[in-house]
């Protein structure tokens, strides 16, 4: 059995690390290898400044080495991965990485080339509204990476065209698009809503039973079908006031396919960092569970094919 390959792509501070950690928690951290494609930057922070090039631009990254390493991991081989240090803006010593059952490749340009896209079994794009992502990025970069707020905003403005040309375009190649968004007030402390675009490139679980149990006045879970980039797409919209019983029902439905969920309570899934503390989000938990469903279904299919060949 080769590893199951998951790609998680999104702009800076879109929530890639949060999603990755939650997925690893569900399937077991010892079974998951996480690699960030930001490690494949061609230049350090000072060099990028001198050359006036953004880290988001493909020319600022060793795409060819990224392709080789991801393919080697998919084949079950180890790699010597470069390490980019976001705190210092320089490179640390490379790290020896051995593949495990599941490999998560997260970063900015994971779906940039046709060759890269072919390496993944499941492709996820994180697409929060821009004002929310800006808030996340300012909070992260000022508290963890040593930037001032003005420096972060200036960097975002400078990156806008590159982001639009090379990062957001990768949505169209994704199997699942995750859009967290505030209901009314962006500054509200309540958890975010989430809209999941489940594209027909994958077979998704039947959650109609959950929708049928919605209240009639103000349903918290809705499913619609439409088209996105010329593909049939299921739109699963979960409001921030989703009831605990509905989340548990989704968990129960998916536990049929994800035995690993049995050992976790609904409150243990969907954890994220909130300053120096940890918080829980039901909508994040649902997004993570649906991604894990695809990983384990892919693993079952590959196991069945392997047995048939034997």
Cα–Cα separations (whole angstroms), residue 205 to 61, 143, 297: 37, 39, 10
CA 55 – CA 12 distance, rounded (Å): 10
CATH classification at residue 272: 3.40.50.300
Non-local (6+) Cβ contacts of 45 within 8 A are 88, 89, 90
CB 125 within 8 A of CB 177: yes
Q: Interhelix angle for 282-309 vs 244-255, to 10°?
A: 10
- The alpha carbon dihedral of 134, 219, 227, 299 has a sign of positive
Q: How many independent structural domains does the chain possess?
A: 1
Q: Domain limits at 226?
A: 4-309
How many CA atoms lie less than 13 Å away from 69 in the CB half-sphere? 24
pLDDT per residue as tens digits for the range 137-157: 999 889 888 889 999 999 999
pTM: 0.93
Give the pLDDT mean for 196-201: 95
Lowest-pLDDT range of 149-158, 178-187, 281-290: 178-187
Q: What is the mean pLDDT of the chain?
A: 92
Say if CB 180 and CB 128 are below 8 A apart.
Answer: yes
- Work out the pLDDT band at 106, boundaries 50, 70, 90: very high
- Distance, in Å, from the CA atom of 229 to the CA atom of 34, rounded to the nearest integer, reads 29
Q: What is the CA radius of gyration of the chain?
A: 19
First-to-last alpha carbon distance for the chain, in angstroms, is 12
């Amino acid at each position: 059995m080769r590893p199951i390959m998951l790609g998680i792509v999104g702009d800076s501070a879109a929530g890639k690390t949060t999603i990755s950690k939650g997925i690893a928690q569900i399937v077991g951290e010892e079974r998951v290898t996480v690699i960030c494609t930001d490690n494949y930057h061609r230049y350090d922070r000072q060099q990028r400044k001198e050359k006036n090039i953004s880290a988001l631009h493909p020319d600022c990254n060793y795409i060819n080495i990224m392709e080789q390493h991801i393919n080697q991991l998919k084949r079950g081989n180890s790699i010597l991965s470069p390490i980019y240090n976001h705190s210092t803006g320089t490179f640390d010593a490379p790290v020896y990485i051995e593949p495990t059952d599941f490999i998560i490749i997260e970063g900015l340009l994971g779906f940039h080339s046709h060759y890269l896209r072919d390496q993944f079994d499941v492709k996820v794009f994180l697409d929060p509204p821009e004002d929310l992502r800006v808030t996340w990025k300012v909070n992260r970069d000022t508290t963890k990476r040593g930037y001032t707020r003005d420096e972060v905003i200036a960097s975002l403005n400078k990156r806008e065209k590159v982001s639009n040309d090379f990062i957001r375009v990768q949505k169209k190649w994704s199997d699942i698009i995750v859009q967290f968004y505030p209901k009314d007030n962006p500054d509200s402390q309540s958890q975010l809503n989430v809209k999941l675009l489940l594209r027909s490139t994958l077979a998704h679980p039947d959650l109609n039973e959950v929708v049928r149990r919605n209240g009639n006045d103000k349903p918290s879970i809705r499913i619609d079908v439409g088209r996105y980039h010329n593909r049939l797409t299921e739109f699963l919209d979960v409001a921030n006031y989703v009831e605990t019983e509905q989340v548990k029902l989704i968990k129960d439905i998916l536990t049929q396919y994800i035995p690993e969920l049995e050992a976790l309570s609904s409150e243990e899934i969907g954890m994220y960092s909130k300053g120096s503390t940890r918080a829980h989000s039901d909508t994040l938990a649902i997004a993570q569970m649906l991604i894990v469903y695809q990983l384990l279904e892919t693993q079952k299919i590959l196991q069945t094919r392997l047995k048939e060949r034997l």
